[in-house]
Amino acid sequence: MDKYSVIISNFGNRADRFLTGYGEDRTLKQLFEAAQRTEGLGGVELVGTWHITERNVAEIGRLLRDHGLKLVSIIPDHFATLVYSRGAFTSKDPAVRAQAVRDTQVMMDAAAELSCDLLNIWNGQDGYDYSFQSDYQVERDWLVEGIRACAAYRPEIRISLEYKPKEPRTHSFLGTAAGALLVAQETGLPNVGVTIDVGHAFVAYENVAESVVILSRAGGKLFHMHMNDNYRLWDDDMIVGTVHTIEYLELLYWLDRVGYQGFLSLDQYPYREEPEDAIAESIGWLRALRTIVDRMGAERVGELLKTGDAAAASRLVRQAMMDELK
């Protein structure tokens, strides 16, 4: 049975480049209350220093218990902290690189105290904007070294690298599933893997189901999933399934087939929609899509894949969506 979580700041205020105030500021308690009210949510992800610091771990523990939620992951803030605006693990300043490692390790300590075994790292500022701005060899070495230092610090905590082709930098060092996998492998440590954010994969023009298989074949390196939707041009963070409905069906089929056991975590930041409605609608879509995949049947899909018959595949999906299968 699928398990759903959410990055808890989805329920708070949201901002883009033009408007800083699409919603309302909410206290940490109010964010947890919103998560508890949303049917189907069993877990939350917290952003380091936005929600959790080394000083409020006990408070977070109480909020998790009081609202019946599991801490699924902590996301260190490598993207919205000024000191990291020119890179975290890949900053040209060695003091900043060392701080990125320390700050990440603090979040690992908090995770361990809260019985959370996953740190999700989206290092959005680790990249470049112009030609001849980055030493790709040296800075990739720094990236691997920084991640390795974190992973070695607490081997029981998994480090999951979330990739994205661009934004806030025009080019991210972790830009694709294959690129993130290579960095994970270069650390040489088993507790480093990859997060697929479905919207980021769409922007990278990946077939997300195939990316699931690639990461799974590489020794089980698919650690985590972030769910949203977009039009492939930008990280629009839309309601799940509202654009790429059929691709989501294939994604759920392959998550089952590779044996993914983790949470499906909502990462949307709905700007103009009521957050609780938008998150609930994504869960509603995921449940509906799951029903369709179940109607299609794993055995039937497996037989179909042996033929490569596109028309037969279209027919099976259509009939399952319309509940016309016999």
Q: Are strands 222-227 and 118-121 parallel, antiparallel or unpaired?
A: unpaired
pTM check: above 0.85? yes
pLDDT, average across residues 19-25: 87
Work out the pLDDT band at 305, boundaries 50, 70, 90.
very high
Q: Is the pLDDT of residue 326 over 80?
A: no
Please indicate, yes or no, if residue 241 is contained in any of the structural domains. Answer: yes
- Distance (Å, rounded) from C-alpha 285 to C-alpha 289? 6
Of 1, 29, 41, 7, nearest to 280 by C-alpha is 41
Q: What is the DSSP string of 156-181?
A: TSEEEEEP-SSSSSSEESS-SHHHHH
Query: Phi and psi of 49, rounded to 5°?
Result: 75, -25
Average pLDDT over residues 119-140: 98
User: Under a CB-based contact definition with an 8 Å cutoff, are residues 239 and 268 in contact?
Assistant: yes
Chain centre distance of CA 122: 8
- Segment 36-86, tens digit of pLDDT: 999 999 999 999 999 999 999 999 999 999 999 999 999 999 999 999 999
Cα–chain-centroid distance for residue 289?
A: 19
Overall domain count for the chain: 1
Residue 20 lies in a domain: yes
| Residue 303 banded pLDDT, cuts 50, 70, 90 | very high
Task: Please indicate, yes or no, if residue 307 is contained in any of the structural domains.
Answer: no
In a domain, 302, yes or no: no
pLDDT in tens, 169-184: 999 999 999 999 999 9
On whether residue 305 sits in a domain, the answer given is no
- Mind listing the pLDDT tens digit for each residue in 214-238? 999 999 999 999 999 999 999 999 9
Give the relative orientation of helices 57-66 and 94-113 as an angle to the nearest 10 degrees: 40
Domain-embedded: residue 317: no
Judged against a pLDDT cut of 90, whether residue 324 lies above it is answered with no
Res 152: pLDDT: 98
Contacts of 27 (CB under 8 A, 6+ apart): none
CA 144 to chain centre: 20
Q: Assign 285 to helix, strand or coil.
A: helix
| Distance from the first to the final alpha carbon of the chain | 24
Q: Which two tokens stand for residue 70?
A: 């599991």
Q: What percent of the chain clears pLDDT 90, i.e. is strictly above it?
A: 95
CATH of the domain at 38: 3.20.20.150
User: Could you tell me if residue 321 is inside a domain?
Assistant: no
Range of the domain at 109: 4-273
